[in-house]
Amino acid sequence: MAKAAGTAKCNRKEKEGPMRRRRSSFRKEKAIMLVSSCLVLAAMTVTGLYVRNLGEEEPEDNVVDFTALEDGEEDAQEDLTMLGSMAEDRAMAEERAMAEDRAMAEEQASNDQAVADGQAAADGQAVAENQAAADAQAAADGGSLTDGGQNAGEAVLAEKNSPNEEQNGGTGQGDGEKEEDTDASDGTDEEALAANASDAIVKSENAGEEDEDAMSASSFLDFSDSDTLVWPIVGNVLVNYSMDKTVYFATLDQYKYSPAIVISATEGEEITAAADGQVTSIYHDPEIGTAVVMNLGDGYELTYGQLTDLSVAEGDMVTTGELIGKVAAPTMYYSVEGTNVYFKLTKDGVPVDPMSRLG
């Protein structure tokens, strides 16, 4: 039994030996794993600290700096605001400049109109004064001729009678034949003087009648609000009538009011009357050149500008379609627009759109 117990003990020891070895190797592996884990953790910790320090010193390229973006947006917004204010300032400056140009153009147009009205009034007054002076001169001439004829007749009779009276007084004789001759000659001289005086009176009356005919002809002119005009020349309208807003004048390079229309034409082309009327004034203007003003009646007047080689004179009665003159070279005020005819219609001195009356 002792042998058997020893054998069992040996067998037990043999079985426990491998188990001890396995336990020892497991402990070693566990220790190695623990040590390895510690080393790995330490390495990771060191690496993390290094990476963090590196990131603080030099930020990565792919990191977006939102602060910079916000600052950039604020700067862009400020730039846009500044640009907007600059655009508004520029628009206000342009509007102010246009308003000043418009005011200057209106003032220039009013000045031009005032000058034209003053010129027309002065011309009309001058024509009236000349007419009155002519009438007064004609009347004075007629009276002086009549008085002169009578005075001359009396002087001749006195001269004829004085020799006869002296002769008769000196001789104391009454010669019948001489008396008859003297009476005959006196009768002939009286008849001649009376004829001359009557001729002078007739001429004076004829001059007065001519003046009255001209005045009556102008008083018979009639141009109602329903009457129309004919085109004085065929051409395109270069500048339209506009008194409610300014229009652009290319030569002057500015906007201003236009009391007339400007019709394109060819230099030397004939211009005809647009309506029946009487020439009341012919004058020269730096802007529209040689101009002819015609009275149509009822307060209406037509002004033709840019003329030359006139076929009419002041006081002439002109019928529709009758030749007035020819187209002149444009003045320096219309050098860009080119050769043209200035055509203006007024009613009691106030401009009227000619296009509304042209047929």
pLDDT band at 239, cuts 50/70/90? very high
pLDDT band at 165, cuts 50/70/90? very low
* pLDDT score at 328: 97
Residue entry with tokens 């009155």: 132
Residue 275 has pLDDT above 50, yes or no: yes
* pLDDT score at 235: 94
- Give me the chain's average pLDDT, please: 76
Cα(38)–Cα(106) distance, integer angstroms: 98
Asked if 208 and 139 count as a contact pair (C-beta separation under 8 A), the reply is yes
Q: Which of 204, 350, 220, 194 lies closest to 297 in space, CA to CA? A: 220
More confident residue, 183 or 353: 353
* pLDDT score at 102: 81
- Is the full-model pTM beyond 0.85? no
Cα(294)–Cα(302) distance, integer angstroms: 5
Residue 256 has pLDDT above 80, yes or no: yes
SS3 102: helix
pLDDT band at 171, cuts 50/70/90? very low
Asked if 236 and 263 count as a contact pair (C-beta separation under 8 A), the reply is yes
* pLDDT score at 199: 62
